[in-house]
Chains A and B, each alone.
Chain A
Amino acid sequence: MPGEVILDVRDLHKSFGALKASDGISLNLRAGEIHALIGPNGAGKSTLIKQIAGGLKPDRGAVHFMGRDVSALSVAQRAHAGLARTFQISALAMEYTVMENAVLGAIGQSGRTFGFFRPAMKDRALLDSAAAALERVGLTEHASTITSELSHGQRRQLEVAVALTLAPKAFLMDEPMAGMGAEGSRELTGFLQDLKHQAPILLVEHDMDAVFALADRISVLVYGKIIATGSVDEIRSNADVKTAYLGEEDAA
């Protein structure tokens, strides 16, 4: 049941001096799927995510999103088009309450950054959108907590909630499981399994159990090149992948 292609990365190249961080990367994300991107440390996963999100300009290649070339768009413009990103290390406004962080997302989505007069925290439309996102990730009761007081796991939940306020068409998630306990990981796994039906997820993740449990497709990135893309079983049985990546883990 291959869905419609939402995000299409075409032949990305990016070098830092002699280091080829992206060496002709092509991959796509289809509606309804979780596409996991795995690879050893230093394989160029973060560099790739940054290029897709718009924070880093590739030397060559293009990113198409929702059928249009977004290569020339900024981070903000891509976010506005519905490309929602969560960070490996939580990027939140730490002095704001949980609700204010979610409202910030709703403001960005509404395109009303230049509303000067009506108080944001009394605006029904913004509050409703923010409250719905908090409800979805289970942070409703923490709405008036200052973000810096949240636990690590709750911050990850809030990251996802803020992404949800963007009415996303696709998610880019950079290690959402990082630093979560076993139970937190399991809960999040269930949540993402459900979330992918709303918008597909390109997932960078180190937790192999989570990847094998969640992913519909997996791409393996090694030294800036994708050496294999396929289903969980295909990747598990792929000889190249075993030597390049899984083998290392077994040895370790």
Chain B
Amino acid sequence: MLPERMINLLILGLLLAVPLVALAMDEPFIITLATKAAVLAVAGVGLNLALGQGGLVSFGHAAYFGVGGYAMGILASHAQSYTPLMEAPFLIEGTKSMLVIWLVAIVASALVALLVGALSLRTSGVYFIMVTLAFGQMLYYFAISWPAYGGEDGLSIYVRNGFPGLNTLDPIQFFGLCFAVLLIVLFAVNLLNKSPFGLALNGAHQNEERARTVGINVYRLRLTAFVISGAITGLAGALFADLNRFVSPTMFSWQTSGEIMVFIILGGVARLCGPVAGAAVYILLEHVLGGLSEYWHIYLGAILLFVVLFAKGGLVGGLSRREVRHAG
């Protein structure tokens, strides 16, 4: 048993090492797989803030993933067709700049999360799960029936968006960018978890009555966490869209919400790097088992069942020992 910090370094080290080895062996496809794992990990880290720390089982995080994806798709498609998004009352043009796209993705998904959270957080338990799911599905069907941006077929972006100083079409450079985003997000979330806000959020998860009784406004606390969580998942959506150079309503589907949740359960609920380990294992399984059988989800199901029954802390929880975070 190792301290959790060591496990985290190991997970991130592995995720960094794989594409570097793949680069040396000239295997660009493996680099793309690692990039996908890094991007999905960001989505998982986002959901983990709400689900793991806050105990808010959102089954609709695909909504923010999709909003982030469509933020990229819409802005880039206008840029590639040289048509403005709108002309009146003021001109908004499309863009191929990742930084602008990320900002729009974060703001848009945060706003959607604010709306969904404000309503869904008035409920709890199964109702909360159902309300978040319902919002996700609403956006899914909206995307399908919105012909301006591809409807059911989605949107293709021919050239990956640009980042100053990088050739984003080079797989290893794009991986580096996504990995850096993951590190920044992990750093920020770690800070958040340890802050008074994080302590209060997890405290309210363990005992809501307790949090209220010490004067904490639990609704506002959770809504804030939900919005930050949605914004992070939205950023992941924009990266995912750029990785595939394609956006489709599938990003909004409940299966996507479920997958993001699976990363967390596999890796370890409320563990900082749990979703990273979970997303990496998921991609690995999809690649290895998916090559064996089209029905690889059966094996995934069996593994998930095993984790839930026998290794509650997931991969990270199973490998690390419990730590007291302060001196006696």
Asked if A225 is an interface residue, CB under 8 A from chain B, the answer is no
Q: Is the CB of A93 within 8 A of B207?
A: yes
| CA of A162 to CA of B196, assembled, Å | 15
Q: Counting chain A CB atoms within 10 Å of each CB, which of B192, B198, B199 scores highest?
A: B199
The DSSP consensus for interface residues of chain B is helix
Q: Counting chain B CB atoms within 10 Å of each CB, which of A104, A120, A141 scores highest?
A: A104
A99-B326, A112-B196, A115-B197 given; A76·B216 CB < 8 A:
yes
What 0/1 readout, one digit per residue, does chain A (83-107) give for beta carbons within 8 Å of chain B?
0110100011111110111011101
Number of B residues contacting the other chain (C-beta, 8 Å)?
31
Q: Is the CB of B207 within 8 A of A108?
A: no
A-contacting residues, B172-188, CB 8 Å: none
Q: Is the CB of A79 within 8 A of B214?
A: yes
Q: Is the CB of B195 within 8 A of A97?
A: no
Q: Is the CB of B199 within 8 A of A166?
A: no
Q: Is the CB of B214 within 8 A of A166?
A: yes
Q: Which residue of A lies closest to B205 (CB)?
A: A93
Asked if B89 is an interface residue, CB under 8 A from chain A, the answer is no
Please report the number of residue pairs spanning A and B whose Cβ atoms sit closer than 8 angstroms.
121
Asked if A113 is an interface residue, CB under 8 A from chain B, the answer is yes
Q: Is the CB of A165 within 8 A of B214?
A: yes
Q: Is the CB of B324 within 8 A of A97?
A: yes
Asked if A109 is an interface residue, CB under 8 A from chain B, the answer is yes
Known contacts A100-B325, A107-B216, A115-B196; 15 further A-B pairs (Cβ under 8 A): A75-B212, A79-B214, A92-B210, A93-B203, A93-B207, A93-B210, A94-B207, A95-B206, A97-B326, A104-B199, A107-B200, A108-B200, A116-B192, A119-B191, A166-B215
- Contacts A/B (CB < 8 Å), 28 sampled: A76-B212, A76-B218, A79-B213, A79-B214, A91-B207, A91-B210, A93-B210, A94-B206, A94-B207, A96-B202, A97-B324, A97-B326, A104-B214, A107-B214, A108-B200, A111-B215, A113-B196, A113-B200, A113-B221, A115-B196, A116-B191, A116-B197, A120-B199, A121-B199, A126-B196, A141-B328, A143-B328, A144-B326
Q: What are the 8 A-B residue pairs with the smallest beta carbon separation, nearest first?
A: A108-B214, A80-B215, A79-B215, A108-B215, A144-B328, A93-B206, A115-B196, A119-B194
